[in-house]
Chains A and B, each alone.
Chain A
Amino acid sequence: MKMFMVKMINCILIIMILFSYQSYASKKERNVLAFNQKVKIARKEWEKESIRISGEQNAPKYADGKYQGKGIGFGGKIVVEVSVCNGEIDDVEIISAKKETPDYVEMMNALIEKIVDAQGTEVDVVSGATFSSNGVLDAVDDALSKAGNK
């Protein structure tokens, strides 16, 4: 019974620490997000200004359109379709991932959000789904290589 109490107290302590950490971290994250948003807007303004001044437009990184790419996930091929709109990655869709179970496909949606946010594939993989993540990232890279402006 003594052991049980000790374990219980430890368990409650860990839960409390995790919860307080979470509330602190999510608050911080919200602040960072708001800040990044401001930076993004400022940057767009600045780009517009520089175009207006110099009179020439920088070619966007990617040409608009839809591109398919392939990667190897968990023992199988993953095919994705990247939509580029206004020179930006607009959406990534998983076309086929036969070997990936539905759970993993769901996890990949979180990864796709990260890719769209970061406008590239330099994002953290989803742990526990490293293979699927890398497969999707490879596939997106493959697709973007076709979308690049030469």
Chain B
Amino acid sequence: MMEMKQKKQNNQKSQMQQRKQKMLILRWARVGIQVIFFVLYPAVFSQAFGAIKDIATAIGKGEAITWTIFTTKLMALIIITAVAGRVFCGWACSFGAIGDWVYQIGQAIQEKIKKKIPKLPEKVQMLMQKMKYLILLFVLLMCFIGRGDFVTKNSPWTVFSLITSGGDISEYKIGIALMIIILIGMVVKERFFCQFLCPFGAVFSLMPHIPFVKLKRRSENCIPNCTLCKRNCPVNMKLQENELREGECIVCGRCKYGCPKNNISIIRKMISSE
């Protein structure tokens, strides 16, 4: 009897270790891909969003929309996101990558000094996630009334792209201040910018995600009241719990590899009919 119990415990232990290892591999795989995209395409997000600003500006002026290389990039990102979810946000966006790295460094420091920044209450987090829609609305309105330059002048993205290309940022005081605030936020909360402030993220989360490739949770298999996937999730989400917030998912995959019951899987709905 004792032996059986011991064996079961050992088994559980090794399973946990396996999970931990998988999570570690996942984390470094993501960092690796992020680094590649950071080096190759650090400006895609601002270019593609620039195309959205362009469209709003053109409509505000009553001019025809011109198709540029930025519009092509925007279309590519929109199609990818519609088919596979926000993989761009989670794995390729350079600004998101910065957020992840800053957060991880912050975590490592917190572990060293054995002090933890308190967690954001769930309600506050949910409320703050709505802010990005207001920012998107503000940016679009500014472009629409022909003051898009105001956004560009004060945007932390301008500062970021100037830094990545080695430009002079001394003139952009507000942008620098915002960037510093965002960096602090990134230490406090994982994906701070992406879930709370990013106007492009707002566009993505409002978009329909054609369930071609999707993470799915088999809720009937779940341990009652288990919230492990939610706690592992950067945007504090349990899959298939609240349809309204489904757009927040950045496909980091941590819920899948963190689940002790292997309840979350990638489904290809169109191919294998459920």
Contact = CB atoms under 8 A, between A and B. Distances in A.
Nearest to B47: A128
B152 A4 contact: no
In terms of DSSP, what is the predominant structure of the interface of chain B? helix
A39 interface: no
Given A4-B208, A21-B59, A75 B68 contact: no
A115 B17 CA distance: 64
Contacts of A7: 206-209, 247
Q: Is the interface of A mostly helix, strand, loop or mixed?
A: helix
B168 interface: yes
Central interface residue in A1, A74, A75, A127, by most chain B CB within 10 Å? A127
Contacts of B209: 4, 7
Given A103-B47, A127-B50, A74 B65 contact: no
B162 interface: yes
Nearest to B205: A7
A3 B211 CA distance: 12
A3 B248 CA distance: 13
Contacts of A127: 50, 53-54, 57, 143, 148, 152
A48 interface: no
Nearest to A29: B64
A61 interface: no
Interface string A1-18: 111100110110000001
B243 A107 contact: no
A126 B51 CA distance: 10
Contacts of A110: 66, 68
B46 A130 contact: no
A3 B243 contact: yes
Given A110-B66, A129-B50, A75 B168 contact: yes
A106 B59 CA distance: 23
B111 interface: no
Contacts of B46: 128
26 contacts: A3-B244, A7-B207, A7-B209, A11-B208, A18-B55, A21-B65, A22-B64, A22-B65, A25-B64, A29-B64, A74-B161, A74-B167, A75-B168, A99-B165, A101-B43, A127-B54, A127-B152, A128-B46, A128-B51, A128-B53, A128-B54, A128-B70, A129-B50, A129-B70, A130-B152, A131-B167
